[in-house]
Amino acid sequence: MTILSSFFNRASNAIHAYPSCSKLLVLCTISSGGLVAYSESQAENETPSEKKKKVLVLGTGWAGTSFLKDIDVSHYDVQVISPRNYFAFTPLLPSVTCGTVEARSIVEPVRNIIKKRDGEVQFCEAECVKIDCAGKRVYCQSNIENNLVGNKEFSLEYDYLVIAVGAQVNTFNTPGVLENCHFLKEIEDAQKIRGTVIDCFEKAVLPGLSEEERKTNLRFVIVGGGPTGVEFAAELHDYIQEDLVNLYPIAKDLVKITMIQSGDHILNTFDERISSFAENKFQRDGIEILTGRRVVNVSEKEVAMKIKSTGESCSIPHGIVLWSTGVGTRPVIKDFMEQIGQKNRRALATDEWLKVKGCDNVYALGDCASIDQRKIMEDIATIFEAADKDNSGTLTVKEFQDVLDDIIIRYPQVELYLKSMHMSDVTDLFKDPRGTDATGVDIEGFKSALSHVDSQMKSLPATAQVAAQQGAYLSRCFNRMELCEQNPEGPRRFRGSGRHQFRPFCYKHFGQFAPLGGEQAAAELPGDWVSMGHSTQWLWYSVYASKQVSWRTRVLVVSDWLRRSIFGRDSSRI
């Protein structure tokens, strides 16, 4: 009797402690062998839970969400903090500014994403205001402004911290930018631009304005000729020509879009062919491109700039300015970098495994981080030593090939270098200038063969693609943490002994798009393939539809595109 009652007590405790296992228990008890099944289910659940580590994720952007989608919640207690309770499909933000796509169509509540994980992921809508890596604790603050009941501030402990808070706009300390410019980083930014564009038109058609005043109200200025700026210009041009001039006929000849770019060409991170295709398309569309100019001041009514070649100053009036010139550091990251001795950087330095340099158990990914890739020349002596198995002082091709795989994994710049030099085989490195194969090299020869390899190191761009891959990579590492402790899967350590626990993060570039309006787009695809025109726009449609985070947003985005093509874009000022 005592045994039975003690069993029920334990069972009831277990059910309260692990609600999810209660179903299993009930099922097993109903079927035969209740006691055995119970003890098994407890064993399964308790053992990992006793040492379940707390993973705290900051941010629900591309990096954070992609980490959350794959992390194994049976091994970790996962908690997420973000000032936004949704994930936003940011590449469609320029479409939101003109109502081609609705803001709601590109967001998915984080709770919807984590709900699929049996509710074991906890989410708090709050902003992290301070990271204390010595105390393994973060300080947070709710950003809800309404006077609601309870304390807005709280702190949370962690075992592992995953920082994925993204970046903020970079004004390069240009005066007047924060006060007078629009940005395009958040959903709210896009919604605000949408309203302001309509305001410009409504204001321009008020009675009693001079033609000059109307023109100024209808002057749309975009600072920065990168993908965001270009896509916004294209969207805006389509919106105006396809929808707004029909509703505001007198605006037709007064409206003007101007793009200011400090470089010599727009889209200068793209292939040259795309860049000039875009410039030609914009010229035909009447979008003015001012290149080689640096904006020095933005006032309420004017954008002042300096022509780089001549040093001359000039200015243009504006009705609205979009500032899209790159990313800057968030205050919480700045503060954290000072703590860990990473002052004067734009982003948190991590190693190749996304671990923040200078502190334990803290990872950073996405726009707030940048990987500090180890130079091969720093390790050249130890590599030589490790590779030269017979300690002969000469590295043979055979010996080099034995360590080559590890080198390529550990120093990805080697592969990039080979590619850039059109070398098919690594042994080409050892060819002497006359083209004859060398049978071996000494340390000096080895150094000189690899001396230019590090020039191929590039920091990764601040894109959704990079962030998403990093999130997926990191969750894979977390999920295999125990497994890889015993069976490390990384390359051999040249400085130390043994192997690295994991392979370092390796970015795969799947290409990038630049929609140019008028149902045309340009794309850089893998394998240096360039595609431009209407068919590329269809490719863009299918890629962007397929990349949506949920079926809900996929359906909404596609139906928005359909709606736009049937009814046009909505110009209500809401």
Q: Per rule CB under 8 A, is residue 16 in the interface with its own copies?
A: no
Q: Alpha-carbon distance 240 to 78, whole Å?
A: 46
Cβ distance to its own copies smaller for residue 151 or 391: 151
Task: Answer yes or no whether residue 17 interacts with its own copies by CB under 8 A.
Answer: no
108 beta partners = 87
CA distance 32 to 36: 9
Interacting residue with its own copies among 5, 343, 424, 567 (CB under 8 A):
567
217 lies in the binding site for its own copies (CB under 8 A): yes
State how far the Cα of 422 lies from the Cα of 418, in Å rounded to an integer: 6
Asked if 187 contacts 96 with a C-beta cutoff of 8 angstroms, the reply is yes
Contact 96, 103 (CB under 8 A): yes
Burial class (CB in 10 A: 0-12, 13-18, 19+), 265: middle
Closest approach of Cβ 1 to its own copies, in Å?
Answer: 36
**How many CB atoms neighbour CB 210 within 10 A?**
8
Would you list the DSSP string of 220-265? EEEE--SHHHHHHHHHHHHHIIIIIHHHSGGGTTT-EEEEE-SSSS
Query: Are 318 and 219 within 8 A, CB to CB?
Result: yes
Member of 40, 44, 132, 188 binding its own copies (CB under 8 A):
188
Asked if 397 is part of the footprint of its own copies (rule: CB under 8 A), the reply reads: no
Region from 124-132, 324-332, 380-388, 499-507 binding its own copies, contact rule CB under 8 A: 124-132
Q: State in angstroms the smallest separation of the CB of 61 from its own copies.
A: 14
Q: Which of 30, 43, 149, 526 binds its own copies (CB under 8 A)?
A: 149
| 151 touching its own copies, by CB under 8 A | yes
Nearer to its own copies, 310 or 567 (CB): 567
Binding region for its own copies (CB under 8 A) out of 198-206, 374-382, 452-460, 488-496: 198-206
Binding mask 273-302 for its own copies (x = CB under 8 A): ---------------------------xx-
Helix, strand or coil, per DSSP, at residue 495: coil
Place of tokens 């990987």: 371
Dist CA 382 CA 342 (whole Å): 27
200 contributes a contact to its own copies by CB under 8 A: yes
Distance between CA atoms of 233 and 226, rounded to whole angstroms?
11
Of the candidate residues 71, 107, 274, 321, the single one contacting its own copies (CB under 8 A) = 107
- Closer of 31 and 567 to its own copies (Cβ): 567
Number of chain residues interacting with its own copies (CB under 8 A):
69
The interface mask with its own copies, positions 493-532, x = CB under 8 A, is ----------------------------------------
In DSSP terms, 219 is beta-bridged to 256
In three-state secondary structure terms, 104 is: helix
* Of 212 and 482, CB closest to its own copies: 212
Look up residue 445 and give its two tokens: 């020869």
Distances (CA, A) of 184 to 92, 191, 231, 326, 338: 11, 10, 11, 11, 28
Closest CB to its own copies among residues 112, 168:
112
Output 147 or 546, the one with its CB closest to its own copies: 147
| Nearest-approach distance from CB 482 to its own copies, in angstroms | 29
Q: How far is the CB of 428 from its own copies (least distance, A)?
A: 54
Binding flags for its own copies, 534-563, as an x/- string (CB under 8 A): -----------------xx--xx--x---x
Site for its own copies in 61-100 (CB under 8 A): 84-86, 99
The Cα 563–Cα 400 span in angstroms is 60
191: contact with its own copies by CB under 8 A: yes
Q: Are 101 and 92 in contact (CB under 8 A)?
A: yes
The stretch near its own copies (CB under 8 A) out of 278-286, 315-323, 376-384, 450-458 is 315-323
d(CA 211, CA 214): 5
In the complex, the smallest distance separating the C-beta of residue 517 from its own copies, rounded to whole angstroms, is: 22
Q: Which of 213, 285, 288, 415 binds its own copies (CB under 8 A)?
A: 213
DSSP strands (E only) in 453-525: 512-517, 520-525
Contact 371, 346 (CB under 8 A): no
| Cα 329–chain centre separation | 14
Q: Which residues bind its own copies (CB under 8 A)?
A: 84-86, 99, 102-104, 107-109, 111-112, 115, 119, 124-126, 142, 144, 146-152, 154, 156, 187-188, 191, 196, 198-200, 202-203, 205-210, 213-214, 216-217, 246-249, 300-301, 317, 319-320, 551-552, 555-556, 559, 563, 566-567, 570-574
